[in-house]
């Protein structure tokens, strides 16, 4: 298969290119050359999708994968330029298109969020999901039954620039007492970037169309599974479980300061069902594989580096002191 990838030099994009090359596909990557080198084995056409789409004139591909579409106007330009030169268009969306609360079973039929002002183009945490939903509409309407929409949950694994999952194996590798958000049985959901990349490429080979959630299976992984696996793979670190109430009282930011932590009742995102994708070929590797690959990658970059997510060591030490003082006071004789 001859594939065109828009993006392809950051995280998911690089893994998509590598998955396609591993299948023997021919891959052309269209990007500006600012985020990183073109993966080895792929052809590079330099250009900015907002100004240089004519660089793709005269070429044809079996399918294209859009890994970096965020604004409907920009995505529409790509669809208009390529609809007659690709057989199918895979658009990487997000589970953030869903509202915080699901109305039914958390499958692809759930209603998506709508922006109050659909003309907005500034991508913020408040507009991100709504803009992605509008981008989906552009692709599905413009490609006339030839679109594949992928809605990933939290994407994790090697090369993740956000450090949102990386924080956990990285932190355990540093050793000592590790603040972990309770309760241990809290459900978590994420997908290894390599599993996602392989599903996208395989889906195009299988001529899949339509919308697919792509994250973990709800109920399959709990927070204590992540903690235990990180400790076992890293060979160090001791989990100190802090209650949700304590963390909220002390202003700890869910998802950012403690990745994977979503307080009870705040969001249904971990409940989103990926059953349709699983039935269509999505496969999950063992959690230990994901943790090990992530730890290897972050170790290569340096365990003393400052991460983009997670507690700072100072903040963690302060929380531990306050937690122990609270526990001591609660257990002292009256």
The segments of the chain whose pLDDT lies below 50 read none
Rounded Cα distance between 91 and 293, Å, is: 26
The domain segmentation of the chain, as residue ranges, is 2-152, 167-186+222-268+286-328
pLDDT in tens, 307-321: 999 999 999 999 999
Rounded Cα distance between 226 and 243, Å, is: 17
Q: Give 90: exposed, middle or buried? Use CB within 10 Å, 0-12, 13-18, 19+.
A: buried
Q: What's residue 334's pLDDT?
A: 56
Rounded Cα distance between 69 and 48, Å, is: 12
Sign of torsion over alpha carbons 120, 124, 127, 129: positive
pLDDT in tens, 24-52: 999 999 999 888 889 999 999 999 999 99
Rounded Cα distance between 167 and 81, Å, is: 40
Helices (H), the chain: 12-22, 72-82, 128-143, 167-174, 193-205, 223-234, 244-249, 275-279, 287-301, 313-331
Record the pTM: 0.96
Class of domain 2-152: alpha beta
Residue 53 C-alpha from the chain's centroid = 27
Rounded Cα distance between 244 and 31, Å, is: 43
Rounded Cα distance between 121 and 326, Å, is: 47
CB neighbours (10 Å) of residue 118? 12
Tokens at residue 331, please?
């257990």
| Residue given tokens 């659909």 in the structure block | 118
Q: What's residue 130's pLDDT?
A: 98
Q: What's residue 330's pLDDT?
A: 65
**Cα Dmax for the chain:** 83
**Closest by alpha carbon to 250, among 316, 160, 309, 301?**
316
**Closest by alpha carbon to 151, among 72, 200, 65, 214?**
214
């Amino acid at each position: 298969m001859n594939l065109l990838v828009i993006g392809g030099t950051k995280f998911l994009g690089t893994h998509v290119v590598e998955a396609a090359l591993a299948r023997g596909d021919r891959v052309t990557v269209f990007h500006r050359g600012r985020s990183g080198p073109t993966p080895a084995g792929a052809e590079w056409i330099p250009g900015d999708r907002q100004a240089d789409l004519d660089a793709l004139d005269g070429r044809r591909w079996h399918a294209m994968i859009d890994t970096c579409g965020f604004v409907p106007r920009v995505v529409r330009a790509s669809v208009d330029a390529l609809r007659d030169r690709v057989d199918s268009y895979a658009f990487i969306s997000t589970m953030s298109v869903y509202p915080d609360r699901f109305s039914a079973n958390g499958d692809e039929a759930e209603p998506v969020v709508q922006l109050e002002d659909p003309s907005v183009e500034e991508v913020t945490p408040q507009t991100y999901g709504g803009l992605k939903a509008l981008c989906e509409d552009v692709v599905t309407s413009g490609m006339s039954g030839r679109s594949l929409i992928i809605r990933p949950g939290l994407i994790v694994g090697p090369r993740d620039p956000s450090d949102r999952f990386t924080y956990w194996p990285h932190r355990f590798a540093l050793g000592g007492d590790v603040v972990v958000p309770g309760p241990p049985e809290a459900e978590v959901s994420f997908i290894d970037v390599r599993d996602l990349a392989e599903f996208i490429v395989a889906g195009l080979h299988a001529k899949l169309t339509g919308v697919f959630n792509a994250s973990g299976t709800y109920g399959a992984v709990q927070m204590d599974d992540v903690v235990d696996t990180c400790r076992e793979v890293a060979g160090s670190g001791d989990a100190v479980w802090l209650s949700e109430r304590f963390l909220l009282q002390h202003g700890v930011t869910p998802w950012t300061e403690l990745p994977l932590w979503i307080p009870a009742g705040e969001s249904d995102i971990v409940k989103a069902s990926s059953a349709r994708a699983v039935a269509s070929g999505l496969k999950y590797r063992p959690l230990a594989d994901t943790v090990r690959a992530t730890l290897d990658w972050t170790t290569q970059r340096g365990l003393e580096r400052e991460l983009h997510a997670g507690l700072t060591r100072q903040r963690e030490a302060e929380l531990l002191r306050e937690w122990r003082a609270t526990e001591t006071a609660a257990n002292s004789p009256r």
